[in-house]
A and B are shown apart, each in its own frame.
Chain A
Amino acid sequence: MPNPAAEAKPVDDIQGDGRWMSLHEAFLRDAKEKEPEVVLIGDLLIAKLSQSRLWQQMFEPLHSLNFGIGGDRTENVLWRVLNGELDQIEPKVVVLLVGTNNYDNTADEVTEGILAIARAIREKQPTANLIVMGLLPRGEKPNPLREKHAAINKRLAEELQDIPLTTFLKIDDKEFMSADDIIRRDVLYDFLNLTVDLGYQKLCEPLLEEIQNLMGTFIKVESTSVETSSIGGDIATN
């Protein structure tokens, strides 16, 4: 049975300004000209990261490229990977976060979609480290989509475990919720998207640590802690 979440498909230009294709072409130009060591690809959760202070502080020093597009479903990211966005460059790490926009596919369909992208990335970049990120919870209170995301994450953890050069990184759901499983608006302001700074910090600290582990280098980046604006503060108090 065909799985629409795993069949590469570009986004239709319904609104009439061709923005999605323009973005894809801008990414292709970047891939031709630039020499990133880290590439992040996915949906709005990745895209909006480029607008936060954390991008400048944490990712730019690592020579990163952001190929996130808001609204992208797994089949759209798959299409972009198969159509040149990972050609020519030789990054050391690729980060993938997509799936929340496939709200109308089953957990298995979305998982298969993500795994198809992981396979495509592996083919394009045989020696890069791939970090597949777990889906974040959504919706103020427990709801079917949260359960679906949990099921997807569980299956991804199992399927990706033994694949070489591939890491599954899941941020604990508790980071985004208060004690009674209610999502906090100071981290997910609309119960779906991360707030700049606090929300992205929860995503990026473990992500950055994993990236630096994989790259085997420890480039100095500024402290991401919102409380102290320099690592000097952290060390001085030890």
Chain B
Amino acid sequence: NKAIADYLYSNGFQGALEHFQKEAGLSPEIEKKFSGLLEKRWTSVIRLQKKVMDLETKLTEAEEEVNSGAPTRDRRQPGEWIPRPPERYCLSGHRSPVTRVVFHPYYSVMVSCSEDATIRVWDYESGDYERSLKGHTDSVQDVAFDSSGKFLVSCSADMTIKLWDFNGYECTKTMFGHDHNVSSVTFMPSGDFVLSSSRDKTIKMWDVATGYCVKTYTGHREWVRMVKVYQDGSLLASCSNDQTVRVWVTATKECKAELREHEHVVECIAWAPDSAQPAINEASGTEAKSAKRSGPFLISGSRDKTLKMWDVSVGLCLFTLAGHDNWIRGVVFHPGGKYILSAADDKTIRAWDIQNKRNHKVLQAHPHFVTSIDMHRNAPYVITGSVDTTVKVWECR
């Protein structure tokens, strides 16, 4: 009733409002907390109805696929192959939520890390578990390979970063320096340096040869959740609990851009590959040659349930993708450049058509929050990790 009263009040139906308040026995004041509530609840019903209709359409499509056989790869170009259910493998073994999954750049191997403090290596073609890397004493938050695939770096809530020789699976260095949970780690393209971001609000660069911290980037006001290096190493992007995305000049530590539009913690970011430039330009309406954007472009995913595409050279948000129903936890570009794949706490992964700025497909991926997603750079596979402790391998077609 109070929500109805607020609706009548904000739309100027003064007479109806007074009458309604009298009949419903409400006090004459309008409580602020009910502002806009009625509309919000109406649209949530409409969204649910739309969801039901979408599900019915999907069911019909799925039934057709089952009856006439799955669409063959010949009908679609590889650039359009997206993950499809059912999963190829559901791999168990971790004893706690999986925090990150990454593909090896060359071997048919992938790596997952978990709150159980271990890192697991799996063969994604056979579904076999290969081995565990142990050493961290608390949740492992992130793992990354260098471009050769010879080294793996991991970071943890135990505040350390570990370097692993991927041939012998040994930890060759442990790097100390952060004052709190380290939530993200990545190699510089050259492989000589590692970057990390932490709940201590800083980003640090480490010399792989000595294990020492050589640079600290400060500016974020809260936990820096993720750091990602641009393909040529000249720029870093980071995202934070302070709701911003920042871009830094790697060499000088200067903060080149502070991108502020998200309304909640920004959990993940990904730099756009060159292959995505045409679609991004189409999407931002710059067809005329003179107006063509060259980027670099960056996508961010947030707990405000949206993804935002940024043109870093001008510090502008080009467009927003909405559709997830809960916190977005991971995002990756399809190497073909036409799609973005995202994973969220609404238990789904979604494929987004960049050019048309819309949700292309929704996949019910796990029975609990999906924390991470990765796509292979040239093989048709996607992997996801979840709070349900499993890792799933999906084929793309």
Interface residues of A (CB under 8 A from B): 33, 35, 60-61, 63, 213-214, 216, 218-220, 231-232, 235-236
Contact = CB atoms under 8 A, between A and B. Distances in A.
Q: Which of A63, A216, A218, A231 has the most CB of B within 10 A?
A: A218
Going nearest first, the 5 A-B pairs with the smallest beta carbon separation are: A218-B44, A232-B52, A220-B325, A235-B49, A231-B48
Contacts of A213: 33-34, 37
B345 interface: yes
A84 B362 CA distance: 41
Given A235-B48, A236-B52, A61 B326 contact: yes
Given A218-B40, A232-B55, A33 B326 contact: no
A229 B371 CA distance: 26
A124 to B, nearest CB: 19
A218 B45 CA distance: 10
Contacts of B41: 218
Contacts of A232: 48, 51-52, 55
Contacts of B49: 235
B144 to A, nearest CB: 22
A63 B346 contact: no
30 contacts: A33-B139, A33-B181, A60-B368, A61-B326, A61-B346, A63-B327, A63-B345, A213-B33, A213-B37, A216-B40, A218-B41, A219-B325, A219-B326, A220-B44, A220-B47, A220-B48, A220-B51, A220-B325, A220-B346, A231-B48, A231-B52, A232-B48, A232-B51, A232-B52, A232-B55, A235-B45, A235-B48, A235-B49, A235-B52, A236-B52
B307 interface: no
Nearest to B115: A33
A219 B325 CA distance: 6
Contacts of B51: 220, 232
A214 B52 contact: no
Interface in B303-338: 325-327
Interface string B41-72: 10011011101100100000000000000000
Contacts of B368: 60
Interface residues of B, number: 23
B119 interface: no
Interface in B20-47: 33-34, 37, 40-41, 44-45, 47
A214 B325 CA distance: 18
Contacts of B327: 63
Contacts of B265: 35
B272 interface: no
Nearest to A214: B33
Interface in B350-376: 368
A214 B47 CA distance: 20
Contacts of B44: 218, 220
A214 B32 CA distance: 11
A61 B265 CA distance: 16
Given A214-B33, A216-B40, A218-B44, A61 B345 contact: yes
Contacts of B345: 61, 63
B157 interface: yes
Interface string B62-93: 00000000000000000000000000000000
Contact of B157 (A33, A60, A218, A220): A33
A62 B49 CA distance: 21
Nearest to A90: B241
Contacts of B45: 235
Contacts of B346: 61, 220
B156 to A, nearest CB: 12
A158 to B, nearest CB: 16
Interface string B146-181: 000000000001000000000000000000000001
Pick the most buried of A35, A60, A61: most chain B CB atoms within 10 A of its CB: A61
B264 to A, nearest CB: 10
Contacts of A231: 48, 52
Given A33-B181, A213-B37, A218-B44, 18 more contacts: A33-B139, A33-B157, A61-B326, A61-B345, A61-B346, A63-B345, A213-B34, A214-B33, A216-B37, A218-B40, A218-B41, A219-B326, A220-B48, A220-B325, A220-B346, A231-B52, A235-B52, A236-B52
Nearest to A220: B325
A60 B368 CA distance: 9
Contacts of A219: 325-326
A95 B57 CA distance: 40
A232 B326 CA distance: 19
A118 B6 CA distance: 28
Nearest to A232: B52
A236 B48 CA distance: 11
B212 to A, nearest CB: 28
A57 B345 CA distance: 13
Nearest to B265: A35
A61 B325 CA distance: 9
Nearest to B34: A213
Contacts of A235: 45, 48-49, 52
B84 to A, nearest CB: 23
A230 B115 CA distance: 32
Contacts of A33: 139, 157, 181
Contacts of A60: 368
A236 B53 CA distance: 10
Contacts of A216: 37, 40
A187 B49 CA distance: 32
